[in-house]
Structure 1
Amino acid sequence: MPGIDECLLEAMALPGARGAALVDWSSGLALGTVGESPVGDHETTAAETAELARAAAEYETFAATSDPAARPAPGAAGGGPGGAAGAAAAGVGGPPVEDLIVTTRTGYHVLRFVATSFDSSVFLHLWLDRAEGNLALARMRLRDLAEGLVLR
Structure 2
Amino acid sequence: MANVEISLKETMTSIEGALGVALVDYTSGMALGTLGGGKDLDLNVAAAGNTDVVRAKVRTMEHLGLKSKIEDVLITLSGQYHLIRPLTGRDGNGLFLYLVLNKATSNLAMARHQLARIEAELEV
Q: Considering the TM-score relative to the shorter chain, is it more than 0.5? A: yes
Q: If you compute each CA radius of gyration, which structure gives the higher value, 1 or 2?
A: 1
After TM superposition, the runs of 4+ consecutive aligned structure 1 residues lying more than 4 A away are none
Percentage of pairs with the same residue: 34
Alpha-carbon shift at residue 39 of structure 1 (Å): 4.7
Alignment of 1:141 with 2:104, yes or no, is: no
Query: d(CA) in 2 for partners of 1:38 and 1:57?
Result: 30
Query: d(CA) in 1 for partners of 2:91 and 2:51?
Result: 18
Alignment of 1:97 with 2:70, yes or no, is: yes
RMSD over equivalenced CA pairs, Å: 1.8
Where does 1:50-69 land on structure 2 (aligned, <5 Å)? Answer: 50-60=51-61, 61=64, 63-65=66-68
Q: Could you give the per-residue CA deviations for residues 93-149 of structure 1, whole angstroms, max 9, x where no partner exists?
A: xxx211000000000001111113257110111100000011000100111111111
Farther-moved stretch of structure 1 (53-62 vs 4-13)? 53-62
Query: d(CA) in 2 for partners of 1:112 and 1:28?
Result: 15
Structure 1: 5+ residue stretches without partners: 66-95
One-letter code aligned to 2:81: Y
Alpha-carbon shift at residue 42 of structure 1 (Å): 2.3
Task: Number of aligned residue pairs: give it.
Answer: 121
Q: Which residue of 1 aligns with 2:123?
A: 150
SS in 2 for 1:59: helix
Bigger relative CO (Cα 8 Å, ≥ 6 apart) = 2
Instruction: Identify if the C-alpha distance between structure 1 residues 33 and 149 changes in structure 2 by more than 3 Å, giving closer, same or farther.
Output: same
TM-score normalised over the length of structure 1: 0.73
Q: Which residue of 2 aligns with 1:113?
A: 86
TM-score normalised over the length of structure 2: 0.89
Q: Could you give the per-residue CA deviations for residues 69-102 of structure 1, whole angstroms, max 9, x where no partner exists?
A: xxxxxxxxxxxxxxxxxxxxxxxxxxx2110000
